[in-house]
Amino acid sequence: MKKIIIKKENSGQRIDKFLSSYAKASADKKPEVFLNMEITRGEIIRMIKNGKIKVNNKNIKPSYVLKEGDKISAERKAKSEKLIPKDNIKIKIIYQDKNIIVIDKPDGLKIHPNNFEEKNTLVNFLISKFPEIENINDGSTGSDLRPGIVHRLDKDTSGVMIIARKQESFNELKNLFKNRKVEKKYLAVVRGKLKNKKGVIEKPIARAENYKKQVIAGGKTKTKTRSAVTEYEVIKEYDSCSLLEIRPKTGRTHQIRIHLFSLGHPVIGDEIYKLKSKIQPFSSSGLKLNAKRQLLHAQEIKFELFRKKYYFQSKIPDDFTNFLRNLD
């Protein structure tokens, strides 16, 4: 078992940051190998969480602050881990060229794995069909688990999604999303009837203290606050629901869901952002309506990449259509 004894000059650092720097320095100084020289900070964090890296023979968190004399030990030298390709996931490819891949994401599918052992995600499918994307990322923590991914849809949200096929297009697409130059349109079925049939929700978002969901940021919010803007328009009203067209201007995690929930009109089927009342919506015939997933669908996306204009649509899924049909 390899060990590092922390000297005074290295005390006060988080262990994950220290080991990330140590691994990079190893490439030049070539000391006795403690960790794989090419290991990422994300991989180091996973090793710590899995108990493969300890301090003074005790499990610690990635945020542990090192003290002089601490002994860091690793059970084994970190190996180069690879994503597992999986080609038997049913996903429709709408379009592909040398720069991008466009898919029609089904609901119930995670975008990327949380560890290298996981294999039933969109990314596992993508690397089986397009192995060239495996090393396309921005170098941030955990980015090796989401190659080519420039934006995300929640697991239970369906619809059109863009993936970068080259590093150059990845960088450009990230900039387009950051600068709000990608136009997106969603459809959502929400509870109740909105007072304002058209409007803009402009409420900053922050993570809840337990990190399990997002909240509308307030004066007591302790986590990082991000601006968030969502345009909406009521397309059709039913007895107890409304069909909305949504155009998010920013791309925060759970943005549409938390914004609609903040108005008192959560997305039907949303198990995280939902009203305390357990009363289900009813159709005009009195039939109780249930949704097996949140009724949120990414219908359209439009952007310009390398002077070429792109526009893609995703057909409304059957479960979405059937729910609306039962409302009539």
What token pair was written down for 64?
A: 């542990």
Q: Decide if 126 contacts 100 (C-beta within 8 A).
A: no
Catalytic residue at 270? no
Beta-strand pair 296-305/158-164: parallel
- What phi and psi, each to the nearest 5 degrees, are found at residue 9? -70, -15
Question: Whole-angstrom Cα distance, residue 250 to residue 228?
Answer: 6
Beta bridge partners of 313: 300
Q: Which amino acid type is present at position 48? A: I
Beta bridge partners of 236: 243
Nearest to 41 by CA among 56, 57, 21, 59: 21
Question: For residue 123, what are the contacts with CB-CB under 8 A and spacing of at least 6?
Answer: 83, 111, 112, 113, 145, 146, 147, 148, 149
Q: Which of 16, 70, 154, 156 is catalytic?
A: 154
Question: Whole-angstrom Cα distance, residue 162 to residue 228?
Answer: 21
What token pair was written down for 67?
A: 């003290």
Question: Whole-angstrom Cα distance, residue 147 to residue 106?
Answer: 19
> Which residue pairs from 206-213 have beta carbons closer than 8 angstroms and sit at least 24 positions apart in sequence?
212/272, 213/254, 213/258, 213/272, 213/273
First to last CA, the chain: 67
Q: Which residues are catalytic?
A: 154
